[in-house]
Structure 1
Amino acid sequence: MVGIRKRKDFFEDFGSELFDNLEEIIEALLEEMGESGPFVYGFSIIHRPGEDPELREFGNVPEYPQKEENFFPSETKEPLIDIFENEDMVHVLAEFPEIEKENLLLHATAQNLEIKVTGLSEFSEDVELPVPVDPKSAKASYKNGVLEVIFRRCVEEKPVEIKIS
């Protein structure tokens, strides 16, 4: 006789109370949104060795009224920012749903990109770049709530021998 295996719940493997009331939260958010239009909602979990997991929420969905348990920390939603690099370029992508292009201000140095949002939603972030870049080479575009800034990497000069006199 073949034994019957109990089917495991998908979220059981995560071993976290984080997902216990996810379905309730999604249903409440959808009910609150009604037929108002498109919305963006998401979260990312970053787990670095030796550190607690970091949960980042992003999107244009209003805060979910919570009881005693905090599913997400009640902090200002920060945009999701990713940095990609290759041999020649550094790409910075940031999501800003419902922000107008005119409300974005960018300032760059060889090591940092400062992103400011003005208007109704005030936000400021200083993004540390992984390698030195040429700030004058920056090209920025903004489409469908996604800001993309592309830099050329600085050509690292080879060490120069210094003669002692």
Structure 2
Amino acid sequence: MADFRMAAQEDAPALLELTLRAYEPIRQLGINFAAATADLDLVRKNIRENMCFVMEEDGKIVSTISARMPWGPSPGPFGVPHLWWFASDPDVGRKGVGREMITWCEEVIIRDTLKSPAVSLGTADRHPWLIEMYKRRHYEIQGSKDLGRGHITIYMKKDFIKVNPEDRN
């Protein structure tokens, strides 16, 4: 059974090792995500400045995801929590670990605990399958921006609360 918790600074070496293994295919694609070339200082900074979560199975970290807050040092573009640094252990295989991690973060943390009406994320336009994966998870493209990293960042948002314009009165 999986256990979820906030990451602690003591988790940094394990998170770095997991992240570098998980992002190997991203590096091979030549996509410059910050997590793909992280070092221990960047992992520690992520844990310190963001809500960094881990999923453990039998005491081993098998997945991680972070949420940057609108009031934090590196907010997302829409004034809602912004997911990033999402990685799952490639040795676990296709057991739904990543899906379970992101669903837990979206629903338990962002929607139910923080009461946020939405969540956002960014991904690379050149990634061969991530945009479609996030669309299947009900994320919608909201815009794009060239951040100078060699790709266009596609910003996506998932609304938890659908508002009918007629209900705003």
- Same fold per superposition (TM over 0.5): no
Query: Normalized against structure 2, the TM-score is what?
Result: 0.30
Q: Structure with the greater relative contact order (CA < 8 A, sep ≥ 6): 1 or 2?
A: 2
TM-score, normalised to structure 1, is 0.31
